[in-house]
Structure 1
Amino acid sequence: MSKQRPEKTKDRPEKATAVVEDHPSTIMTDDYMCVILSTIDDYPCSGNLYIDLQELCLLMGVKEIPVVTPRQPASLSPATDKDNIEHYHSRAESQLLYSKPCVQVVLENEDPLNLKSIRICGWKVDVSVARVLCKILPSLSNLQILHLWQARLSDQMVFSLSNTFPLCSNLRTVVLEGNPLPEQSFHLLMSKDSTLTHLSLRNNRIGEEGARLIGSALSTTTTTNRNLVSLNLAFNSIGDAGAAHIAQGLRLNRALHCLSLCNNKIGDTGAAHLARVLGPFALTHEEIVERRRLLLDREEAAPSSSSLMSTNKVMSRGSVRKRVEPVESPLLEASVQHRDGQVLLSGNTALSSFNLSGNQISEQSLSLFLSSLQMQTEGGGLQRLCLQRNRFSPDCEDLVKIQELMALRDPHNKSTESQLEQEGH
């Protein structure tokens, strides 16, 4: 999916009015600002956030330069990391420990050149600081996690960050929470070219339109995100229509393993879409046309017998090259069936953990989930399905059957499910 730069809502003023802090008499005109930006582009980042943040903020005329402070590293285990995130929310953020801009970092062996995690929580990141961050991040070669909570980023800032993240060699986890965007640009973080594997977008007022964009980012008939492994969309009020859009994105996505849609006002209509995509479903006309095109392309790309003989001769001479197999579309799966005039795909069996707790799902949807789960083949399919705090009795027959089925696939499911539900993941 191609990225489109968010349109500006306000015209750029003819003259900038920012004042350089060290030179109060210097008014930053457009020409002067161009010189500043050119200088920033030419600045050679050292990979030391402490130094580069200070120097670049001075060049940008930032009046209140964020303070870089170390924090204790979190465990690498997912469960413990979730505990740390919740602990941080309930303590540091709710008590507003920082009275001025602060960047929390985790260092490996207290080495400023070996920074692994950055947290920006509870203060507004303005345009200047956002530009500085986009300049610095690619130089932090060991950075793995970026956490932004209530940073009041704009759509334009998220657009810039989405272009910066692929330049960060080891950045795989981004947490952007409590940050509603007017143009719902969150989907830019999960385009087909995104290198992120873990993305949390809790409490961002994503709604139906944001869910539509995210669903298309997960997959369309012709494109799909191949890297994102876990996605947290809890507390976003996407509703039934939004759930249908996410289900549409799950049809041809085979990379995502963990998805949370808890506390999203999803009822039986939305749940039905989500349940059906887990089991065999009929391809649409558009998908059938694309499948035929892919089959034709594959047939045309198949090597002839003469080319195979030539390849064998080259390899026998010791010129062996590693062959990179392209990732095929699910539309080419061998399990595709033809029945009653329909072309049936086996369904999404890549998703292993699904959280739908805290919604408005009634007992009538449970039979749909149970039916889809029973049709999932061995070696794939859901292992955890969280359904607590919905509109059915905890001892209803279909729920008990679902829990028994999940227990067979994952013996530790009971304790893990309870933990995920309590944490809102």
Structure 2
Amino acid sequence: QAALAEAAAAAEGCPALAASLDELAAERDGTCAGAEELERLAGRADDAADRAAARAADAAEVVIAALGADVDVVDTARQVERLITLFAAFSDAGDAERSAAVTEESCARQLRAVLAGQGFAGPAEAEAASAPEHRQAEWRAHIAAHDRRRDTARATLSEPELVDLPDPPDLDGLRGDCEDADKVLESACSRLYVVDRAAADLGLLAQQHAAGLADLAPLRADAERVRRLADVCHGAGTARRMSLERYVLAAFLEEITDAATQRLLAMTDGRYSVRHSDERARHGAASGLSLVVGDAWTGVEREVGSLSGGETFQASLALALGIADVVQQHAGGVHLDMLFVDEGFGSLDADALDNAIVELERLREGGRLVGIISHVAALRERIPAGIRVTRTPCGSRAAVEVADLAA
């Protein structure tokens, strides 16, 4: 009876133990280790049930022997079997509870180790630090997008064109080149800014220059006219390079050479004449005031430089007298009453000297006073009056001499 009572009490506690076992099984259902442990416990429970059934059969025989033949053995056996079943379940539940406690403690230790490795003091702190559901959803979406991009990149890298690519480039060197290129670009941009400013300033100056040219056009036209006139005046615009002054002087020289020719023909017995030449001078020299000497004996015109010393003096004297005649003609009635001739007579022979003196006497007879400065003795004898200058150690002395005209 005591054994039956104990078995009945144990049977009454079995549902609670079974419920606890169900809760533990539900909590460990997610882990493979818990599932394997439960399967092992179930096997042990079956073994325990078999052993309990055997013991129950033995106990039934003992009970039948103890109760006697009046007891309904079948009913009693059913009750005993029920008690055995309950006892076996109770025993298995106890074993499962103890095993589950061990598993729970092991899982707890593993959980604490994992959390400690992640920097958490315990499950509560880890749960507090866990992200909310919507944040986790965002992370899952981000991870899914990353996986898709990874798959796309892998598919791209598996294309034939990208197989057997060379080694990756030197990124550090390329970064340095990129930095240098950025510096060059920055410098170029700075220079471009300066050039743009200069171009803008140059454009403004070009506009001002164009406006200035428009304003300068009339002045340029006037300046061009003045320049052409100046070129004409200076002889730069003429073929003979004859300036305006030389052109005017050439007109006077024509008259002078005409008057000088009359004197020169008389002094040279009709051989030489002088003529003005407006031919262009050589080597780019100014033209318009050249002289040529005509030689009646040879019929050829000669340059002035080809004359001898006496012939040159005769031509010079003739030109001087011609100048005097032309100046007197253009002076408006003013007469040149005196004329001085300095030296040159010593280069003349006797006949040429006589002809020169005759020409000078004609001037004197025409009312002009002619003064001759010379050291030629023959010429002094032909001059009726003069001033003799004598050098002495004490200085020069001058004395007036007048020839005896009666003698």
TM class, shorter-chain normalised?
Answer: under 0.3
Task: Determine which structure has more spread, i.e. the larger CA radius of gyration.
Answer: 2
Structure number with the higher helix fraction is 2
- TM-score w.r.t. the length of structure 1 is 0.20
- TM-score w.r.t. the length of structure 2 is 0.21
Larger relative CO (CA 8 A, sep 6+): 1 or 2?
1
